[in-house]
Amino acid sequence: MKRIQNVLVPFVFSDSAEGALKMGIKTAQIYEAKLHVLYIESGTPSDTILEKVKEICNKEHIEFNFYEHKGAINTIITKIEKAINADIIIMGAYGKSGFQQLWVGSNAFKVISTSNCPVITLQNNIESVSGFNKIMLPIDDSHETRQKINWTTDLARGFDSEVLIFCVSKTNNLEVRNKLAVYASQVEKFLTENGVRISFDESYGNNIAEDCIKFAKLHHCDLISIMTEMESTNSFFMGTYAQQLVSTSPIPVLSIHSRSTMNMVGGL
């Protein structure tokens, strides 16, 4: 499994960005990784931003590297990601207003689609971050969906999380359901062999994003793990189900694409 060594957190004054920083701190502590905080100038003096970051980090007794840059949000984030060899980016999906232009919609999606590592997005602040107790792993009917297994397993082992294997499709076709049952069995075997606790649920014939959120709430999940590049019409394309999840899910979303899985060892 790939071990997280560098965590990148873009930061502005917003509830979601504070939540992302707290999540970044916890992740860095779990993996004994370096924490990197990036401020892209947006009108707030950098000294003010730095003091807020210090306040949050000092409470958790963690050191961090601080970067300040000007430019396009997604371009700068991707540039710093490459410079520090980030293993994961954790960022707020929205700003104070809920639709602050720096973070809304296209910028979050651009970061997800152009980054070389997985991206966790969240909409809200988190008062107390204890980690990921339960991770939803949606399984659809594409081969690519299984590429996220390694990353999800790695996080589950690091945080001692249970993984909910969730078979989901917009169709209720029996052939698709049987195919997903085979996939789920393979995933269950892999997770169990890697010492990860599992549970299972399924839903068919509905909106995939809405079902993921509904069942994640039902099972008290605190992270949803998705692929953002797939070929199947029932999969999570950026622009449809993945965008809907990133935009509307009150539960943090881990977005993984094929570039993020190239250096992973093992898997299905």
Classify domain 134-261 at the CATH topology level.
Answer: Rossmann fold (3.40.50)
User: What is the DSSP track for 70-137?
Assistant: -S-HHHHHHHHHHHHT-SEEEEES--TTSS-TTTSTHHHHHHHHH-SS-EEEESS--SS----SEEEE
Q: Mean pLDDT across the chain, nearest whole number?
A: 84
Classify domain 6-122 at the CATH topology level.
Answer: Rossmann fold (3.40.50)
Contacts of 27 (CB under 8 A, 6+ apart): 4, 7, 33, 88, 90, 158
pLDDT bin (cut points 50, 70, 90) of residue 20 is very high
pLDDT bin (cut points 50, 70, 90) of residue 144 is low
- Quick one: pLDDT at residue 125? 62
Task: Check residues 67 and 102 and name the one with the higher pLDDT.
Answer: 67
C-alpha dist (Å) from residue 220 to 135, 163, 167, 187, 248: 9, 11, 17, 21, 17
Task: With a cut of 70, say whether residue 258 has pLDDT above it.
Answer: no
- Quick one: pLDDT at residue 128? 59
- Quick one: pLDDT at residue 95? 45
Contacts of 109 (CB under 8 A, 6+ apart): 238, 243, 246
- State mean pLDDT over 41-66: 93
Chain CA centroid to CA 158, Å? 15
pTM reported for the whole predicted model = 0.88
Distance CA 55, CA 157 (A): 29
Q: Which of 12-26, 72-86, 104-118 has the lowest mean pLDDT?
A: 104-118
Domains in the chain: boundaries? 6-122, 134-261
Task: Check residues 178 and 238 and name the one with the higher pLDDT.
Answer: 178
Domains 6-122 and 134-261 share a fold: yes
Strand pairing category for 223-227 and 197-204: unpaired
